[in-house]
């Protein structure tokens, strides 16, 4: 059983409450589509590299009519980084003890005109403490209208806290969600941030607003596009796009690497992979 201080507990409580609200919102969309799909929740416990218990989490998964596969994972873990991995984490070089809590979400959609979405926010503690995360839109068939709406919502969330956040974090997303071996981006961007340390209250408030922005804009985009007619050619574009998505998540994604290096639940870590994909 992990012992949490007030900041760690507050962050954990927020991520779990955000999960519940997002899942309820996505299930409501399924009901509107005439589906009774619901999230199935699977708890898991973590053992760190030394064999000691180190927290765990709950993986939520739903397969429906609109959401072909959507996973929402909340984890709260702690223990010691391996000596090799500790070198890559701020504040862990001197002391490998760590704590992390966060939410990670990936949704793959049945209709090629509905963009896949990703969102992750987290709070980490070593000898330093910081928030990180973001959200990005991943359409197989991009819509300028959807892209602008998504960015506008996160631009507003950023502007409420710091006028430099959106320019910095949207550029960071462009650079981060990039497949260098193909010279293409994973999607149409969003925001990505990390290492927001000190000033716990301010950065926690910003991280909350990132979650609120996601919960506000994504259901609107899904509802707008979920009944759009599509062709076999559209589906081919979707499956090929998903292949690129898989390549990024397995080769470059920080969350995948962090989970695998810290003894996380493999099913939860790899929930981001789509049910079907193609490579040509």
Annotation marks residue 151 as catalytic: no
169-179 in b/e form (b: 16+ CB < 10 A) is bbebbeebbee
Could you say which of 113, 118, 151, 203 is catalytic? 118
Catalytic residue numbers read: 118
């Amino acid at each position: 059983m992990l012992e949490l201080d007030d900041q760690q507990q507050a962050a954990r409580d927020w991520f779990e409450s955000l999960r519940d609200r997002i899942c309820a919102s996505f299930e409501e969309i399924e009901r509107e589509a005439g589906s009774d799909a619901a999230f199935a929740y699977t708890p898991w416990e973590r053992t760190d590299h030394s064999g000691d218990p180190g927290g765990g989490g709950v993986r939520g998964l739903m397969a429906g009519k609109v959401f072909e596969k959507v996973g929402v994972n909340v984890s709260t873990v702690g223990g010691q980084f391996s000596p090799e991995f500790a070198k890559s984490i701020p504040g862990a070089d001197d002391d490998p003890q760590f704590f992390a809590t966060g939410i990670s979400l990936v949704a793959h959609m049945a209709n090629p005109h509905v963009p896949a979405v990703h969102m992750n926010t987290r709070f980490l503690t070593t000898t330093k403490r910081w928030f990180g995360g973001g959200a990005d839109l991943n359409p197989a068939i991009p819509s300028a209208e959807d892209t602008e709406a998504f960015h506008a919502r996160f631009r507003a969330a950023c502007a409420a806290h710091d006028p430099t956040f959106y320019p910095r974090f949207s550029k960071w997303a462009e650079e981060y969600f990039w497949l260098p071996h193909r010279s293409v981006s994973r999607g149409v961007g969003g925001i990505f941030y990390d290492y927001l340390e000190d000033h716990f209250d301010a950065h926690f408030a910003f991280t909350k607003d990132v979650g609120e922005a996601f919960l506000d804009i994504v259901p609107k985009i899904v509802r707008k596009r979920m009944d759009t007619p599509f062709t076999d050619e559209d589906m081919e574009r979707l499956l090929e796009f998903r292949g690129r998505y898989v390549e990024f998540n397995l080769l470059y994604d920080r969350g995948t690497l962090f989970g695998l290096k810290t003894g996380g639940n493999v099913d939860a870590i790899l929930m981001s992979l789509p049910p079907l994909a193609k490579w040509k």
